[in-house]
Amino acid sequence: MDPLVSIVIPMHDESENAASTLSVLASALEEQSWVFELLPVDDGSNDDTGHVLARCAAEDPRVHPIVYATNRGRGYAMRRGFQQARGRFVVTMDADLSYSADHAVRMVRMLQEDPEADIVLASPYMPGGRVEDVPFARLVLSRVGNWVLRRALSQSLYTSTGIVRAYRAPVLRSLDLSANGKEIHLEILSQAIALGYRIVEMPSVLRTRRAGRSKFRPRATILSHLLFSLIERSASVLSAVGLMFLGASLALGAYLFGVYLTGGLNPERPLMTVMIVLFLGGATILSFSVLAVQMLVLRRDVVRLHADVKVMRAAVEGESAEELILEPHDTL
């Protein structure tokens, strides 16, 4: 019997947490009488994580470890887990259970009770959510980052960077994911929004890890999120810069016109050159913003085309298209 729920848990150097995390998750799912599988992914750990997972698998046939020698990043680990997940619902959890195991149950329940929901995000930053004992500097970076990304994505989400989520399996199978790092969380949302899937958030409680070493890398995370924001909102950024340049050139032109009226204008003054450069620069940047809009539309069309190709391939191979990909909701 195929499981109802598959839980994918990327792990890197998590020997202190692996066994307890799997045990707690199994207990939470057993209380619901669900058929489930646990897919811990050992992402090239340097400690005994692989041995711990092997022991857990020997003790519980519902544990199916995925182990490889080289550390490839969270995104790669998640993609490996998605490939092997057999459940109708796929949940991703963190290895240290910074979000308690009941979050997995609640997110799956939301998908079961709301047939229009395709993805559920655990959100500590939405009304009703909260954060406990997280280091101040990390919390500030996370809040600011999610605030910026909320304005970058075309759908307003309070928390877009977290790993704790639940998906309908066909949604994941329709995506063309390639990210190896933590940017996979944003890649998933960007493609899901382009395909018109409905994303909902669930108030959640984020706590600091109790054991093991944090893998948070502020510089890499900030750079990847800024780059994503610029790509998603490149047209808006370019338009703002272009309009700023044009506004400056007009203001400077108004000043020079006033000087002209007083009879003191010298065409060779540097301000004349500055005004012309600002005007031409603003016009050029605005033209690039138009190109950015076209590129964004093209990128979303490519995502939709890829999903359609998957459906056609399933039809040729005799699979059910409904099992491969959900019918995307109207994006208008």
Output the pLDDT for position 262: 80
Element (H, E) at 303: helix 270-316
d(CA 241, CA 79) in angstroms, rounded, equals: 37
Please check whether residues 121 and 257 belong to one and the same domain: no
Angle formed at CA 63 by CA 162 and CA 93, multiple of 5 degrees: 5
**Tally of structural domains, the chain:** 2
Separation CA 252–CA 243 (nearest Å) = 14
What is residue 46's predicted lDDT score, i.e. its pLDDT? 94
189 in a domain, yes or no? yes
Q: What is the pTM of this model?
A: 0.75
Residue 288 confidence (pLDDT): 72
Mark whether 83 and 98 lie in a shared domain. Answer: yes
Q: Judge whether 147 lies within some domain.
A: yes
Low-confidence ranges of the chain (pLDDT < 50): 321-322, 325, 328-332
Q: What is the pLDDT of residues 267-278, one digit of tens each?
A: 666 777 888 888
Residue 330 counted as domain residue: no
* 306 and 164 housed in the same domain: no
Q: What is the pLDDT of residue 301?
A: 64
At 216 the pLDDT is 57
**Same domain assignment for residues 133 and 118:** yes
pLDDT for residue 138: 76
Residue 188, domain CATH: 3.90.550.10
Domain boundary at 231, 258, 279, which?
Answer: 231
**Count of alpha carbons within 13 angstroms of residue 157, beta-carbon side:** 27
Considering the domain architecture, whether residues 147 and 296 belong to the same structural domain is answered as: no
Side by side, the strands of the sheet bearing 199-203 are: 66-68, 36-43, 5-11, 89-92, 165-168, 119-123, 199-203
Q: Which of 231, 264, 281 is the last residue of a domain?
A: 231
Task: Identify whether 100 is part of a domain.
Answer: yes
Q: Give the residue numbers spanning the domain of 89.
A: 5-231
What are the tens digits of pLDDT across the range 169-203?
999 988 988 889 888 998 899 889 888 899 999 99
| 329 in a structural domain | no
To which H or E segment does residue 89 belong? Answer: strand 89-92
Contact of 229 with 152, CB cutoff 8 Å: yes
Number of other CB atoms surrounding residue 119 within 10 Å:
21
SS3 of 90-102: EEECCCCCCCCCH
Q: Are residues 267 and 218 in the same domain?
A: no
Domain termination site, one of 231, 265, 299: 231
